Amino acid sequence: MSEVKQRGRRRASPSVTHELVSTPGTRREAIAAERLSSPSNISVAHLLRVHAASGTGQRVGMAMAATGLVLAVTLPSAQALDAHQIDTVASSAVSVETAVTAGAEIPITFASPEVASALNPDGMLKETLKVNASNVTPQAAKGTLGAPLKNLVTSSPFGGRISPITGQMGEQHTGQDFAIASGNEVLAAAGGTVTFSGWHQYGGGNRVVVDHGNGLSTSYNHMSANAVKVGQHVERGELVGFSGSTGASTGPHLHFEVIINDEPVDPMGWL
Ligand SMILES: [Zn+2]
């Protein structure tokens, strides 16, 4: 026993790996030494072998499989989330930030600056909605709604697409999908009054609709649970429910809609 340990210590170099396999502890040391000695040669298969040696291989394999599964089911457009899309997400997140500032270019009456300022997004939205939502220009609309999730990872965009449910071409996708695991907070995009909270009969699953006034509403779909009741006033950023995959959904995500006078429009025009 002690002799083996001594030999292990004395000869703890990659060249003695075959001698150390007899005891699990020293085998891990040997593998660790091997990893350290050639970091550039570590492959996924190699890492799996290492983890198999330490008894965690199955979990690693499951985690990797689960990651692939999640990507497959949360992106109904059947497109992998590649680096380009991540770039797009990152840059759109930046544009959401800057859009709030750019929104100050909208003609605004500063009679009540404490209401309409870049630091008061609901005040800005109120100013924007002095005209009916259908008459708001794209420039004025951009940035007036807040993100319905803490992290927006866009998946399937608004507009025509192949249905992830039926596989048919020509489906009109009425909202913007954001990839999000179940159980995360879904937030009101602006202050308003809850006009619907319940089960949507046409595929939305657990759905909440918030009316922001003058023709503008937002809806939050496929949630695992709703957190508000009809008639309740919500502030911008307030919890309306938890993400999920209820209704016509192929995996956990948030289907977010912006609705102008009962017609869905592209939510990205308002975020
Ligand atoms: Zn959707």
State residue 174's pLDDT score: 95
DSSP codes of every residue in 159-225: EEE--TTT--TTEEE-SEEEE--TT-EEE-SSSEEEEEEEEETTTTEEEEEEEEETTEEEEEEEESE
Residue 209, pLDDT > 80, answer yes
For residue 15, give both structure tokens. Answer: 């060249």
What does the pLDDT look like over 83-139, one tens digit per residue? 334 333 333 443 444 444 444 554 544 444 445 566 789 999 999 999 999 999 999
* Neighbouring-strand partners of residue 185: 242
C-alpha of residue 18 to centroid of ligand 1, in Å = 55
Give the pairing of strands 233-234 and 225-226: unpaired
Least confident of 42-51, 165-174, 191-200, 218-227: 42-51
Calculate how far, in angstroms, residue 228's C-alpha sits from the geometric centre of ligand 1: 21
Mean pLDDT for 186-207 is 96
Tokens 């807040």 locate to 146
Instruction: Tell me what pLDDT residue 160 has.
Output: 85
Answer whether 127's CB lies under 8 Å from 102's CB.
no
Q: Residues lining ligand 1 (ion), CB within 5 A?
A: 175, 177, 255
pLDDT surpassing 80 at residue 29: no
CA of 250 from ligand 1 middle (Å) equals: 10
DSSP state of 130: T
Q: How many helices and strands (H and E) does the chain possess?
A: 8, 12
User: Would you state the pLDDT for residue 114?
Assistant: 47
* Phi and psi at residue 22, to the nearest 5°: -65, -30
* Distance from chain centroid for Cα 232: 26
Phi then psi for residue 254, to 5 deg, are -105, 125
List, for residues 242-264, the tens digit of each pLDDT value.
Answer: 999 999 999 999 999 999 999 99
Ligand 1 centroid – CA 42 distance (Å):
40
pLDDT for residue 267: 97
Q: Which residue has the higher pLDDT, 192 or 91?
A: 192
Give the pLDDT score at 237. Answer: 97
Q: What separation in Å is there between the alpha carbon of 155 and the centre of ligand 1?
A: 9
Measure 265 CA to ligand 1 centroid, in angstroms. Answer: 13
Residue 83 CA to ligand 1 centre (angstroms): 22
Q: Is 244 left (phi over 0), alpha (psi -120 to 50) or beta?
A: beta
Lowest mean pLDDT among 59-68, 69-78, 174-183, 203-212: 69-78
Residue 183, pLDDT score: 98
* Confidence class for position 41, pLDDT limits 50, 70, 90: very low
For 136-141, the CB contacts below 8 A with 24+ separation are 138/269, 139/102, 139/105, 139/106, 140/103, 140/106, 141/269, 141/270
**CA 207/CA 196 separation, integer angstroms:** 7
Cβ proximity of 160 and 77 under 8 Å = no
Segment 59-67 shows an average pLDDT of 41
What the chain holds in terms of domains, given with CATH numbers, is 2-55 (no CATH), 83-269 (2.70.70.10)
Res 116: pLDDT:
56
Cβ atoms of 140 and 103 within 8 Å: the answer is yes
